[in-house]
Structure 1
Amino acid sequence: MQPFALQEVKLSKGIFKNAQEVDLKYILSLNPDKLLAPYLIDAGLPLKAERYGNWESSGLDGHIGGHYLSALAMMYASTGNTEMKTRLQYMVGELASCQAKNGNGYVGGIPNGKVFWERIHNGDIDGSSFGLNNTWVPLYNIHKLFAGLRDAYQFADNQQAKQVLIGLGDWFAELIKPLSDEQIQQVLRTEHGGMNEVFADLFIITKDKKYLDIAQKISHRNLLNPLLAKQDKLTGLHANTQIPKVIGFEKIAKLTNNAEWSDAAQYFWKNVSQTRSVAFGGNSVREHFNPTNDFKKMLESNQGPETCNSFNMLRLSMALFLDKNDVSYLDFYERTLYNHILSSQHPEKGGFVYFTPIRPNHYRVYSQPNTSMWCCVGSGIENHTKYGELIYSHSDTDIFVNLFIPSTLNWQEKGIQLSQNTDFPYKNNSELVLKLAKPQTFSLNIRYPKWAESVKVMVNGKDQTINAKPSAYMSLSRNWKNGDKVSIEFEMKTHLEYLPDGSNWAAFVHGPIVLAAKTSTEDLKGLFADDSRMGHETKGKLFPINKAFALVDESKNYLSKLKQIDNLNFTLDSLHLQPFFELHDARYQMYFQTLKTSEFENQKALQKQQEDALLALEAQTIDKINCGEQQPEVDHQYKGEQSNSGYDDEKFWRNTRSYISYQLQNKNNAGKYLEISILDDFKAENLEISINGNAAEIFSTDDKNIRIKLPTSDNLLLKLSAKTKAPTPRFHQIRLLKQQIEK
């Protein structure tokens, strides 16, 4: 099974074409010179514009530039827009100048990059899940440049990008040459994107086996080994850190005929897609994999599944589909494409979504070109450039129709043009029209989707006998002539899809389309992001879950409450349910609790008690840090030495044998107390606490909480130090409170 090149598939009018055009405008609104600034700074070359703010000037400097290369290349391949090619050539040329100035093949935007990489080369390594020598995910950062240069070459045939890429790869090979396997694995504790994948790609491009050897050497064993043993060790791990590694495992497996590594990739995909993903295809809460048997924290959080995760799960799904020719990968791909990826961009104003909460009556935040430089903006500008990547695929002789998206395929090598005319999912049909220079014999294979109750196929108006089953292909083999038409009609039904933990929360899904209800437009604070460090997170209040809409009846009656207006619009009592990808600028409810009438009052009373306690605590909280979680720590300028982090008993933590520090914001001096919750007993003899350089005034302690009275200050630098070389307690959460909370 082979993909078609993006140049061979053009989108026609429809929701995906619109998303592509909106993305193109966003790409054009970004300033290449601002994106290049971190690279010029590092190379010591004059700036042409000041760099962007936010993540692009607070540690991840340059990462959007790598994504931008990929987006330009794929948008050019998909649309032929010449401005994309012009900008791509300019970006690559400037990066080549930086590489030439550095003189050793290196080019990067990482702050103080030369000093940082020299320490790594010398074996001076102090790493954690996201901080390597107190630098924010440097390998993840440079991976974006590797991937961008690869895409510039592979999608846009930019030969200069190939040379810069090879030079950068050779620099990295020299960088890690003195390191032992143990030291390399120590480096890989820190998020590093798909570094193993890009080195496998370098092998494909150059045929030089040294790159394939490096790809295997920089594959993270702490993730790989449990997958090889079919052990689920994913709970608590930072989700998007893991998925790109597995894409690399699968690519290496294919190149080396390593069935075990491929099995490991399939095991991971099945685990994440079937037991950790919600109805719209996304996974994770606060960026981490939650327990498979408990989605409660995801239901409560304003930080639901992260778009980057789905970006990478689609890449893994595509890789496994092409390798295994298993249509079940397409079922997941389609569900995630329509419901998460398509919904993650504002369809009119542009802007990309980081978190998609499933908390009832909550909302999403959209990026803005000049203020938002998050990871999900980087993957976001790529997401909508490449919708044509898997609509069709082919073998040596045959065509496979995988998705029902209006488009035209031009298989020039075979002299075949195939146009797909469809208004799916608004209408349950699609028409395929062939344009051939001469009659040809081949098989036209059309996917029979898992969600289709039945399928009717006609060729030139004549019914065809279909023997295929769902999640397979309907194969039409004949001598095709110019103008032949194939018509497909689907029967789509609505079902309730429960959360994978077996709880009583369910979403309405019509065919592959997730439905949701607009609930209000109240308090949409931060709907379009500002330039604050946490601009990607909603700032509006949490509405009590116990006041959310619920389905109360006998289970056999739940679906009958839904009344269909048209193909994708329904009423549910006072609610209007519509495709989630259409729902923007509002709070929404996607998941509904299902209760028998006899259970309703007791359940609501219990929920009210829990919600009142949670919301009361949040109302008293000025700032908080979830220790051991990537974004909360980065957002609070984490620094530390000899520190470890982990996840035990469904709680994240961090400790140290030296020190850790955080910067908290005490807006308007409203916070009066600091509460530090720990997972171990408090031992004063091995813990020193200071605030703004002064010893902290401990107000009270118990076995698991330390309470500190605060000085008057807007900025609070909290430092937690080990007095001896023994590890401190495991710190779980730090809260800045208006007043003391009684336990």
Structure 2
Amino acid sequence: MTPHERRRDRATGVLERPSFADVTLGEGVLYERCALNLTYLESLRPENLLRPYLFEAGLWSWSGTLEPTAGSAAPAGPQTWHWGWEAPTSELRGHILGHWLSAAAQLRRQRPRLDATADLIVAELARCQHSNGGGWIAPFPEKYLERIAAGHRVWAPQYVIHKLLAGLLDMATLGGNETAFEIVRAAANWFDSWTGGFSREQLDDILDWETGGMLEVWAGLYGLTGESTHLALIERYRRGRFFEPLLAGEDVLTNKHANTQIAEILGCARAYEVTGDVEWRRIVEAFWDQAIISRGTYITGGSSSAEIWQPAFQQVARLHDVQEHCTVFNMMRVADYLYRWTGESDYAAYWERNLINGVLAQQNRQTGMVAYFLPLEAGSHKRWGHPTRDFWCCHGTLMQAHASYLGAGIHLDGADLRLGQYVPASATLSTSVGRVEITISPDPRSGLVFGQRRTDEGYQGIQHLHVPPAPAERPSTSLIRIRVRTERPATFAVKLRVPDWAVSTPTLTIDGQGVAGNQDGDFLILRRRWSDEMIEVGFTSELKAHPLPGQPGSVAFTDGPVVLAGLVEEERALVADVRNPQAVLRPDRERGHSWWSAHTYRTQGQDRGFRFIPLHEVTDQTYSIYFPIRPA
């Protein structure tokens, strides 16, 4: 049996998403950003990714060869060693390989060379594990864990091991790589033996040293095997010192390391899915309430600064190093778990805001590199990482984040199709009524959430006189086309999320004919017999001003889900009525050749004017997000 077939999750009522192999991104900003990420993944040579593992295993060099495949070429130029956090002297060396494997497992169908490289790396890791004695697999010696157990500081060895094992599990479950599964299984035996020698109090002491997502790894493995050994590892990695006061409603987050705790909560989410034990789910829900609902967020959706949780609704004092990129991606994963369990639109809205104003905003749209933090104070700059000199943890989540939005928001809800996001893509789903193909694409006539680029349709719109002219001014409605094709005619519902930023009743047509969908909460329900139909839905947005928690006299501006950045180098007060931001900002540079330039504005009625652009389009400009307001 393959890793795919071994075991089904125990939790019921969970929304199912299509396989990554059955999804293709459509053209647009996300396609371009994903392409940058693919190029970066391919640029990292396997021998460099493997080097610390080979060194630890006493192998010193890799044994593989990799020939160019059709449509792809080997990386050019001289071999460059990995430095920064991957340097031989760094205790965190080797962590990038696990991230790389997870991203490659999701994107391997996109590039043939990536597929071959991933399988080669797994084979080399198996060789390392065998050389280590058949269990231990890490880029450093077992002594690192012995030092942790003795209470001596080491820089997060279990965090590194988690990244590796998580990447191998993804290679097993998403890539069908049997060797990857066997490596994780053998590593689990090593950890079962190691942890089995400690008392509960000793285990709790060990868990206080950043274990990353080890709990999630053991839960994922148990979901494949159902073996008691792997269930025992789940229980041993239950961090009661964190989870119990969290369930009791105590504030166990303020000024604590955010990314440590988020990884542990992701483990609880996976443990719930594979065991069905509702206490794991209650921990996740209690965490979400304390991290987001009871704490508040920055306008971008982030809720931490300098890697730690800020006090509840006191963001004003911590605008310098907001939302470490890792916390953005991992909180999106928590939101995804909760959305799949509940179908509630608030979680989808959170995911959307963080995608646009976190994942996209913290990737350089020219080089593809990552910004560790996203400062929001006046006169901020994004600090971009280097491809091979830094290797911060955020380099790793960069790779995974730009693989994660393939098929995002497309789910099966029983026999129905639920769309929580409108990422341009084509996907195929196997349903109880047969195969269903869905294609989501923006209408180039509209103002768009992610902006627009030249398309054949847009070009024809300015050339052909029989084509209706574009609106005179940039439209405020984003039109989205959704084509539904079925293997055979079938009756089911298509459920469309109405975004929280939509300000009027959505427009809705099927094959050009106006329809009135039933509304269930924040979803439009279209139940009918489908065969090959085109849905077009339109959501209207408007400028909004949002107060800064802790200083309501300062505001940030959004256009739909997009945070706007003012291109200004110092704190600048605006004369404005925050109830009417349209009187402060007017459209600017709104039209390109055959497309609309979305979300670009200029101030009006101020002593000195300046421009606003989407935060996710800022590269090397100086910018400010929050602005003090003086009444008009």
Q: Calculate the TM-score normalised by the size of structure 2.
A: 0.84
1:288 has 2:308 as partner: yes
| 93, 98, 107: which one aligns with 1:61 | 93
Shift of 1:450: 1.3
In 2, the alpha carbon distance for the partners of 1:93 and 1:167 equals: 14
1:22 has 2:36 as partner: yes
Q: 1:516, 1:589 within 8 Å by CA — same for their partners in 2?
A: yes
In 1, the alpha carbon distance for the partners of 2:522 and 2:336 equals: 16
1:377 has 2:395 as partner: yes
Percent identical pairs in the alignment equals 28
**Which residue does the alignment assign to 1:480?**
530
Q: 2:297, 2:315 within 8 Å by CA — same for their partners in 1?
A: no
Cα distance change on mapping 1:553 and 1:387 into 2, 3 Å = closer
Answer with 284-293 or 334-343: which moved more.
Answer: 284-293
**Which residue does the alignment assign to 1:322?**
340
In 1, the alpha carbon distance for the partners of 2:274 and 2:225 equals: 14
Helix, strand or coil at the partner of 2:501: coil
**Which residue does the alignment assign to 2:610?**
575
Shift of 1:255: 3.1
The total of aligned residue pairs comes to: 554
Amino acid in the other structure paired with 1:448 = V
1:512 has 2:561 as partner: yes
| 60, 66, 74: which one aligns with 2:106 | 74
Shift of 1:560: 2.0
In 2, the alpha carbon distance for the partners of 1:391 and 1:293 equals: 29
1:468 has 2:482 as partner: no
**Which residue does the alignment assign to 1:97?**
127
Cα distance change on mapping 1:558 and 1:475 into 2, 3 Å = closer
Deviations 1:480-519 (A, max 9, x none): 122x111101111121122333533321011111111223
Pairs within 5 Å for 1:94-173: 94-110=124-140, 113-119=141-147, 124-126=149-151, 133-173=152-192
In 2, the alpha carbon distance for the partners of 1:47 and 1:419 equals: 45
Shift of 1:154: 1.4
Pairs within 5 Å for 1:434-513: 434-454=484-504, 455-468=506-519, 472-482=522-532, 484-501=533-550, 503-513=552-562
Q: Which has the higher contact order (CA 8 A, sep 6+)?
A: 2
In 1, the alpha carbon distance for the partners of 2:81 and 2:578 equals: 56
Q: 2:492, 2:530 within 8 Å by CA — same for their partners in 1?
A: yes
In 2, the alpha carbon distance for the partners of 1:290 and 1:437 equals: 51
Q: 1:273, 1:332 within 8 Å by CA — same for their partners in 2?
A: no
Shift of 1:445: 1.0
Deviations 1:214-252 (A, max 9, x none): 113212222211221122221110111111111111222
Deviations 1:342-385 (A, max 9, x none): 12111121211101001111111112222121000011111111
Cα distance change on mapping 1:50 and 1:461 into 2, 3 Å = closer
Shift of 1:180: 0.8
Helix, strand or coil at the partner of 2:485: strand
Shift of 1:185: 0.8
Shift of 1:554: 5.0
**Which residue does the alignment assign to 1:197?**
216
**Which residue does the alignment assign to 1:12?**
26
**Which residue does the alignment assign to 2:17?**
3
Deviations 1:645-691 (A, max 9, x none): xxxxxxxxxxxxxxxxxxxxxxxxxxxxxxxxxxxxxxxxxxxxxxx
Cα distance change on mapping 1:56 and 1:448 into 2, 3 Å = same
Pairs within 5 Å for 1:269-668: 269-274=288-293, 275-299=295-319, 301=320, 303-412=321-430, 414-422=434-442, 424-425=448-449, 426=451, 428-454=478-504, 455-468=506-519, 472-482=522-532, 484-501=533-550, 503-519=552-568, 547-553=570-576, 555-556=578-579, 558-565=581-588, 566=590, 567-573=598-604, 574-596=609-631
Helix, strand or coil at the partner of 1:157: coil
Pairs within 5 Å for 1:126-275: 126=151, 133-274=152-293, 275=295
Cα distance change on mapping 1:554 and 1:457 into 2, 3 Å = closer
Shift of 1:258: 3.1
In 1, the alpha carbon distance for the partners of 2:417 and 2:599 equals: 30
In 2, the alpha carbon distance for the partners of 1:249 and 1:227 equals: 13
In 2, the alpha carbon distance for the partners of 1:22 and 1:264 equals: 37
In 1, the alpha carbon distance for the partners of 2:580 and 2:558 equals: 16
Shift of 1:264: 2.5
Shift of 1:135: 1.4
Amino acid in the other structure paired with 1:549 = R
Deviations 1:248-292 (A, max 9, x none): 112223333333331231222233234242111223221111111
In 1, the alpha carbon distance for the partners of 2:233 and 2:342 equals: 25
Helix, strand or coil at the partner of 1:503: strand
Cα distance change on mapping 1:373 and 1:106 into 2, 3 Å = same
Helix, strand or coil at the partner of 1:437: strand
Deviations 1:178-198 (A, max 9, x none): 011111110111111111111
Cα distance change on mapping 1:164 and 1:571 into 2, 3 Å = same
In 2, the alpha carbon distance for the partners of 1:558 and 1:405 equals: 28
Amino acid in the other structure paired with 2:613 = Q
In 2, the alpha carbon distance for the partners of 1:398 and 1:472 equals: 16
Shift of 1:311: 0.8
Shift of 1:171: 0.9
Structural RMSD (CA): 1.9
In 2, the alpha carbon distance for the partners of 1:554 and 1:389 equals: 40
Amino acid in the other structure paired with 1:142 = I
In 2, the alpha carbon distance for the partners of 1:556 and 1:416 equals: 45
Ranges of 4+ aligned residues in structure 1 off by more than 6 Å: none
Q: 1:35, 1:65 within 8 Å by CA — same for their partners in 2?
A: yes
Q: 2:518, 2:526 within 8 Å by CA — same for their partners in 1?
A: no
Cα distance change on mapping 1:349 and 1:473 into 2, 3 Å = same
In 1, the alpha carbon distance for the partners of 2:193 and 2:184 equals: 14
**Which residue does the alignment assign to 1:741?**
none
Shift of 1:466: 3.4
Deviations 1:405-447 (A, max 9, x none): 2111112562221111215314601011123332111111111
Shift of 1:8: 1.8
Q: Any stretches of 5+ residues in structure 1 without a counterpart?
A: 127-132, 521-546, 598-743
Pairs within 5 Å for 1:28-67: 28-48=42-62, 52-57=82-87, 58-67=90-99
Amino acid in the other structure paired with 1:487 = E
In 1, the alpha carbon distance for the partners of 2:219 and 2:485 equals: 38
In 1, the alpha carbon distance for the partners of 2:292 and 2:305 equals: 15
Q: Calculate the TM-score normalised by the size of structure 1.
A: 0.72
Helix, strand or coil at the partner of 2:348: helix
